[in-house]
Amino acid sequence: MSDALWTSAEIETACAGLVSAPFTASGVSIDTRTIEPGDLFVALAGVRDGHEFVAQALAKGAAGALVSQNVAGPHVKVADVFAGLQALGRAARARPSNLKCAAVTGSVGKTSVTQAIAAGLMLAGQGHGSVKSYNNHIGVPLTLARMARDTRRAVFEIGMNHADEITPLSQMVRPDVAVITNVGPVHIENFPDGEPGVARAKAEIFDGMGPGGLAILNADNRWFSLLAEAAQARGVSVVRFGSQSGCEGRVLDMAPDATGQVIRAELYGRVLRFPIAQTGDHWGLNALAVLLANSALGVDEAMTLHALAGFAPLAGRGAEHRVTIDGGGFVVVDESFNANPVSMEAVINTLGARVVGGRRIVALTDMLELGPDSLAMHAGLASSLAKARIDKVFCAGPMMQALWDVLPADQRGGYAPDADKLAGKLNEAVRPGDVVLVKGSKGSKASRIVEALLSGGIR
């Protein structure tokens, strides 16, 4: 058996294609900007047709291309490139013997939990997992297609914006273990019945599982019973993580330390005490989900604990930066990747519990896809900001105007119609010792505020 990730003959068989000339590929790519020598270039149609970039991919060292048109150079021609990628993903899932797969979804925290699980799998050896947040109809089959033939354990993130999106992805991954971090008011504008519809859509993750699978569910979440019933209807067993007595994974208490915090927890009745390199209160539950998932995948507990101890916050999901200015410096907490009411409350509470030398400042941009109650949900953040003793609040966007209007005068830091205009106001306002939390939906450009703060230092 070849050590290559894919031979052209294997691609031809998997995708029902036709090989122009034999080749072997060591990776799979859909983007010529990041393609590596030896990759198979998959010419997907997007804003531009991927076939326009085949010559460029080959010039950069691609071993061959998956195409649906006649092109120069080594390739496998198929009827439909996207269907070919899906077929390659399914073939990759079927190749390894004794492969154990986990799939992770949820309204909040799925990328971080997926990556933390993957960190433990990599320590255990012959592991594979999603990169970044490759969790959609392209990202999941692409992640599968990149999986080595000798993989023993793998974890995949699966996301959705609408109903019926998770089912086909779960059926492709065929997980042995499914983790649902939580369900909250995310993408609810796409669900006529709101959160119940979101919960049912998340439960689609069980559609690719057979009897004997394991569902790892958040017992503190209001939709736990709905999810548990959906899992059990598939013959899937349920284990719980949460703060309640009786959970297989239970958080007892958490305390900050120099590099993050120390968690005391019960795991199947045993008391554990371990450090994690994260600061948010929600990471107690996240860590228990990771421990339960990796245990089910056969990863030694010590390896998972070691992985958690070194698993730093991801970019846009809690990564911290120190910015130097005249008189000292301030800290930027980058939570700019995405936002919804659940994740907003979690990070605001975390900032409120933090010991700071200066002020606690938040800069918030619009939360998107919240439906007709969006303005009320934005205004509703005021109570969390008050409880967390946030000193100054900066808001950007038409939805955040609703929050700005209900803030007390002494808590108002500044308002602007968009992130770029707010960034200038915030940059002028920060002082040495401040901790500045930036959060908002990706589409409302919260990351532009982070970029401005990081580039505006040393003044």
Residue 285 has pLDDT above 90, yes or no: yes
CA 28, CA 376: separation in Å to the nearest integer?
A: 45
Average of per-residue pLDDT across 397-412: 97
> pLDDT, tens digit, for every residue of 118-165?
999 999 999 999 987 789 999 999 999 999 999 999 999 999 999 999
- How many independent structural domains does the chain possess? 3
Same-domain status, 330 and 252: no
Same structural domain, 427 and 344: yes
Which helix (H) or strand (E) segment is 237 a member of?
strand 237-242
**Domain around 425:** 319-455
Q: Is the pLDDT of residue 281 over 90?
A: no
- Section 50-58 average pLDDT: 97
> Do 172 and 37 share a structural domain?
no
Give the CATH number for residue 147. Answer: 3.40.1190.10
Note the pLDDT of residue 458: 40
Distance CA 243, CA 35 (A): 45
- 1 assigned to some structural domain: no
Per-residue model confidence (pLDDT) at position 54? 97
> What's this model's pTM, rounded to 2 decimal places?
0.85
- Write out 302-352 in H/E/C secondary structure: HHHHHHHHHCCCECCEEEEEEEEECCEEEEEEEECCCCCHHHHHHHHHHHH
Which tens digits make up the pLDDT trace of 303-339?
999 999 999 887 788 888 999 988 889 999 999 988 8
- The answer to whether residues 14 and 108 belong to one domain is no
Pairing of strands 392-396, 412-416: parallel
Establish if 90 belongs to a structural domain.
Answer: no
39 with 126, same domain: the answer is no
Sign for the CA dihedral angle at 282, 284, 285, 289 comes to positive
Looking at the structure, tell me whether residues 37 and 129 fall in a common domain: no
Residue 124 counted as domain residue: yes
- In the prediction, which pLDDT does 77 show? 98
Residue 3: band (very low, low, confident or very high) from pLDDT cuts 50, 70, 90: low
pLDDT at 1: 39
User: Are 291 and 324 within one domain?
Assistant: no
| pLDDT averaged over every residue in the chain | 94
pLDDT digits (tens, 9 = 90+) for 342-395: 889 989 998 998 888 899 999 999 999 898 999 999 999 999 999 999 999 999
Which of 274, 293, 310 is the last residue before a domain boundary? 310
> In terms of domains, do 345 and 405 share one?
yes
Of 266, 291, 310, which residue sits at a domain end? Answer: 310
